[in-house]
Amino acid sequence: MIEVKDLTFSYGKNKQALHGLTFSVRDGEIFGFLGPNGSGKSTTQKILTGILKGHGGTVSLFGEDLQNAHMQEVFQKIGVLFEFPYLYANLSALDNLRYFASFYPKEQQRDVEELLDELEFKRDFLKKPVSSYSKGMRQRVSMARALISNPKLLFLDEPTSGLDPAGAVLFRKIIEKERKKGTTIFLTTHNMLDADLLCDRVAFISNGNIVALDAPRNLKEKNSNHSIIISYLYQGKRSEQMMEASELKASIPFAYDELISVHSQEPTLEDVFIQYTGRRLS
């Protein structure tokens, strides 16, 4: 679906933002693009969506090189949620979305009110101007804008930013639902939880370079020290011991009267990110 080879980009002479990224996104997968602020995530998304011109290397979407592609045709097939949403502040959610929907053929358009209902948008605000909306409400309208054309390829830049925890859960459900429909999703984020819960594969980006790319589970597995913590009671006293999983092969190698719990020490995706880059995600 997306093929990127040796992608470079510079903002002016002295500011190289991307240093030769190579990756591909498979049909129907949720591909996470994970990195801290300033690592090059938005720059990459802007190039892939045709907003930022002048990159080096090659980018192809739907099997076509972006340099030669007919961009109008590409725009018809993609949906984009921007990090800083572009909405008309004086227009209502309904008017904004009807306007954006009008760029697409009728048979491709989703029903605006149905979509906003699905996003749990407060009905009393449907006709009020966007300028009166909270950040979470704007994010819902922006998500609706990205989904309005039933895109085959969806770009989401920090989709759960500005949402409360319940809103974030709802957005993750909606993203899952899109995946089930077969939509390919390029998810740009520094939210480790979103990436871990949603993505089939993630690329870690740091200072404009991809430093790791794999399924979250594999990244955690590869970087796990396979240690296990055992809590137990022995002679009336509660104790804990940490040991390698391999040491437990035959049996628990110490005296105990009762086991309380056995926990593996799996790293989080954030731990793995720090191991690769020496930096936190946020």
Ligand X SMILES: Nc1ncnc2c1ncn2[C@@H]1O[C@H](COP(=O)(O)OP(=O)(O)OP(=O)(O)O)[C@@H](O)[C@H]1O
Residue 42 makes contact with ligand X by CB under 6 A: yes
Asked if 13 is part of the footprint of ligand X (rule: CB under 6 A), the reply reads no
- 3-class DSSP state of 57: strand
Residue with tokens 């939509």: 183
Instruction: Give the residue from 83, 82, 85, 44 showing the smallest Cα distance to 66.
Output: 44
**CB 234, CB 256: distance < 8 Å:** yes
Strand, coil or helix: 25 = strand
> What is the C-alpha separation between 63 and 128, in angstroms, rounded?
42
Give the binding range for ligand X (CB under 6 A) out of 10-18, 107-115, 161-169, 218-226.
10-18
Between 55 and 179, CB nearer to ligand X: 55
Minimum distance of ligand X from residue 243's CB (angstroms): 39
Binder of ligand X out of 4, 17, 219, 281 (CB under 6 A)? 17
Query: Which among 243, 192, 185 has a CA at the least distance from the CA of 220?
Result: 192
- In the complex, the smallest distance separating the C-beta of residue 53 from ligand X, rounded to whole angstroms, is 13
Residue closer to ligand X, measured from CB, 12 or 105: 12
- Is residue 140 part of the contact set for ligand X (CB under 6 A)? no
Closest to ligand X by CB, 48 vs 175, is 48
Q: Which of 55/190 has CB closer to ligand X? A: 190
For ligand X, the closer of residues 161 and 218 by Cβ is 161
- Interacting span for ligand X (CB under 6 A) from 20-28, 35-43, 173-181, 270-278: 35-43
Characterize 53-65 residue by residue with b for buried, 16 or more Cβ atoms within 10 angstroms of its Cβ, and e for exposed.
eebeeebbbbeee
Binding flag, residue 206, ligand X (CB under 6 A): no
Burial of 240 (0-12, 13-18, 19+ CB in 10 A): exposed
Least Å distance between CB 209 and ligand X? Answer: 12
C-alpha span between 22 and 44 (Å, rounded): 11
Closest approach of Cβ 14 to ligand X, in Å? 10
Per DSSP, the three-state class of 184 is strand
Of the pair 40, 216, the CB lying nearest ligand X is at 40
106 binds ligand X (CB under 6 A): no
Radius of gyration for the alpha carbons in the chain, expressed in angstroms and rounded: 23
Query: Which residues of this chain interact with ligand X, rule CB under 6 A?
Result: 11, 15, 17, 35, 37-43, 83, 190
